[in-house]
Structure 1
Amino acid sequence: MQKTIWLLMGALFLVIGISSCDNELDVSADWKEIAVIYGALNPTDASQYIRIQRAYLDEKSGALSFSQIADSLYFDTLDVTVDEFHNGAYSKTFVLNKIDGNTIGLSKDSGVFASDVNYLYELDEPIKASSFFNNYSYVLTVQNPNTDYLAISNTISVGNAEITSPINHNLILELQIPNDTNNVMVAKYQEGKFARTYDMVISVHVLEVNKLDTTQTVLKTLDWKLFGNLRTASLNGFAKATRVINTRGFFYTLQNGLEENDDIYRRLVGYDLRLYGIADEFYTYINVNKPSIGIIQKKPEYTNISNGFGLFSSRYINAYRNLKFHASTRSAVMLSNDTKNLGFVSY
């Protein structure tokens, strides 16, 4: 009799947390214990977090009958370790601790799955980035000591990328975006080792102030995606990459993200710039799981977890925070046809 296995999965950390989804596989084998694992190591983070949940099959009940029961989502006991290898030689072992992400600001989105707890496994030390002479790889081992169930995966650490435009990692200047529909901005960077693709995002911070009571303020953040899924020249790293961006996207981001409101005025407070580099298997996973187009809805399955499902990979996030806009940019948002009715003022 054919049975259905429901994979209760958490999505990967991308910039900002963990979300959940489900995936359905048809199998005819007898029940066996299996884990769904998601984690993306990042050398720029002080701690790393791995989500590990159960996959289960049941002949009599659908997956939703278990979705609000935390005990059905999580293992009671697991031994989770990450081994570090430097240029192929064993270096050290990290023992991961089980924590509730809700207690450290990593809350799980509410929905059909239980969110009263959000168990994660924490590696409370930074990992190392690969560089010209140094390759760092990491092996994840997940074992249930009560059943001897074992799942293993590995990834190689993505190296640092050096940004030279629109900011320079050595000399950060105020960002100038003129009110010109034909203006372009050039993004330049040196690719990090073992990165497959890059995304660059500018997060624009806008302060809204009530005109009648200036103590009432709201800080909003709008993401302007300069480019995404830009493939690297190779996995060897250190190639120079250039991307030309029409700066009209900056004004469209403000126009689409803010509503006209005569009761408030707005200020451009500043921005953050992030460059996201992801490993090859991360890129493969994203592409396999893109929304289906056309009448064919069946998707291939991709996992790099041995005796499990999910993804264990690496990324490198270059983040520059609390940067300033040039005075000309603050003037431009007051004059642009796209944003002149949004109540922007200069300092």
Structure 2
Amino acid sequence: MKVKIILFISFTITLFGCKNDLVINAPYKDIAIIYSFLDQNEPVQFIRIEKLYQNNATTNTTEGAQIADSLYFDTLVVKLINIVSRDTFYCYRVDSIPKDKGFFSSAKNTLYATKIPQNNNADEVYQLHITNPKDNKTFISKTSLVKDAAIDNRKIVINLVTPNHTFAFRFTPGRNAALYDLIVRFQYKEMIKSDTNNFEIKNVDYFVAKSAAISGSLEKSTIVSREYMNYLRGKIVEDNTKVRRSLAIIYQAYGGSAEFASLLDLSKPNLSVVQKNPEYSNVSNAIGIFSSRNFVELKMETDPTNLLLIESNLPNFHP
């Protein structure tokens, strides 16, 4: 499983990856591992619930890890409760999403899913409530739903003549967001030179900020024009069998909640020789994180001469 912590990547990895904690030859006890990141802009919300893997005396670690049923609870009652509106949304079991291959069995991938209404104007808090009917044990957590950021739609001007020229990324953070990844996406069309009807839409993502904490009601970051162009040159290599055409510059903002900010903070290297960072969990009677994220993007207004400038500095681009 990838360990690089970037907001929009890490949420996906947590839900659909193969990571399971490992306890070797410990007394058996069902311990739940729970991960979920709500996103009001997603049509379906997913919750990953697994058992902490525990080896036993009759099965070695490698053999036991390949028994898919040992990683999941037989029956669970899973629901999301909107604490503000008091609406309850029961989750259904999903077994159709492929699981990344790894040390643990990928033959089965059980998730729980449900739909929640979108209301960007409401300040919403959701509680995750899970019950295991087998022993009546409950696992509970709650998170404030991160709302949409508002990206400022100003015309982008790129200037390669002035040495330190910059263009801005301005946005108003969404309610309940604690940190952001900010991305400037360059989108282009790449065609086969001998058959321009055969093409692919490609993107180059430039990170303006990674896991940046919110400091005010209006956030502004700047991008140096020359640095941005050099980055694009490094990512788009010359290929004389292709013809390319620029399409758009898109600003993207990935927001994370306070719980995710706490997780990142505890994930930072501990330079002490005696202390160990505690593992973060905000789920009662279980291990894991129940949190919220939000993704918005905006196609920016770009002067046509700027797109021509970009194309003239990149290989195999033609108007």
Q: Tell me whether the two structures share a fold, i.e. TM-score over 0.5.
A: yes
Counterpart of 2:6 in structure 1 is none
8 Å contact 2:18–2:101 — kept in the other structure?
no
Counterpart of 2:158 in structure 1 is 177
8 Å contact 1:42–1:127 — kept in the other structure?
no
8 Å contact 1:12–1:38 — kept in the other structure?
no
1:196 aligns to 2:196 (yes or no): no
TM-score by length of 1: 0.78
Report the AA paired with residue 98 of structure 1. Answer: R
CA distance in 2, matches of 1:249, 1:65: 51
8 Å contact 1:47–1:126 — kept in the other structure?
no
8 Å contact 1:44–1:126 — kept in the other structure?
no
1:110 aligns to 2:101 (yes or no): yes
Q: How does 1:12-51 map to 2 (within 5 A)?
A: 13-14=11-12, 18-24=16-22, 30-51=27-48
Counterpart of 1:344 in structure 2 is 317
TM-score by length of 2: 0.84
Counterpart of 2:233 in structure 1 is 255
Counterpart of 1:320 in structure 2 is 298
Deviations 1:123-153 (A, max 9, x none): 1223544x5xx53211111122123232111
1:301 aligns to 2:289 (yes or no): no
SS state at 1:300 partner? coil
SS state at 2:262 partner? helix
8 Å contact 1:81–1:141 — kept in the other structure?
yes
- The structure richer in helix per residue is 2
- The structure richer in strand per residue is 1
CA distance in 2, matches of 1:36, 1:124: 22
TM superposition shift of 1:49 = 0.9
Q: How does 1:90-101 map to 2 (within 5 A)?
A: 91-101=86-96
CA distance in 1, matches of 2:49, 2:20: 14
Counterpart of 1:57 in structure 2 is 54
Point out where structure 2 has 5 or more consecutive residues left out of the alignment: 1-8
> Alpha carbons of 1:22 and 1:284: their partners in 2 closer, same or farther (altered >3 Å)?
same
TM superposition shift of 1:216 = 2.8
Counterpart of 2:66 in structure 1 is 68
Greater RCO, CA 8 A, separation 6+ = 2
The number of residues matched between the two structures is: 309
1:210 aligns to 2:195 (yes or no): no
CA distance in 1, matches of 2:256, 2:227: 24
> Alpha carbons of 1:292 and 1:327: their partners in 2 closer, same or farther (altered >3 Å)?
farther
Counterpart of 1:221 in structure 2 is 203
Q: 1:331 aligns with which of 308, 311, 317?
A: 308
CA distance in 2, matches of 1:62, 1:297: 32
Q: 2:147 aligns with which of 145, 154, 159?
A: 159
> Alpha carbons of 1:151 and 1:62: their partners in 2 closer, same or farther (altered >3 Å)?
farther
8 Å contact 2:170–2:218 — kept in the other structure?
yes
CA distance in 2, matches of 1:222, 1:274: 12
> Alpha carbons of 1:221 and 1:146: their partners in 2 closer, same or farther (altered >3 Å)?
same
Question: Which has the higher mean CA deviation after the structures are superposed, 213-222 or 61-70?
Answer: 61-70
CA distance in 2, matches of 1:295, 1:306: 30
Give the fraction of aligned pairs with identical amino acids, expressed as a percent. Answer: 27
1:135 aligns to 2:117 (yes or no): no
TM superposition shift of 1:109 = 2.5
Deviations 1:315-340 (A, max 9, x none): 2222336x67542232222333xx3x
> Alpha carbons of 1:206 and 1:82: their partners in 2 closer, same or farther (altered >3 Å)?
same
CA distance in 2, matches of 1:328, 1:296: 58
Deviations 1:293-323 (A, max 9, x none): 89899543111011111110012222336x6
CA distance in 2, matches of 1:78, 1:35: 11
CA distance in 2, matches of 1:20, 1:292: 26
Q: Please, what is the CA RMSD of the aligned residues?
A: 3.1
Q: 1:146 aligns with which of 104, 110, 134?
A: 134
Report the AA paired with residue 89 of structure 2. Answer: F
TM superposition shift of 1:249 = 4.2
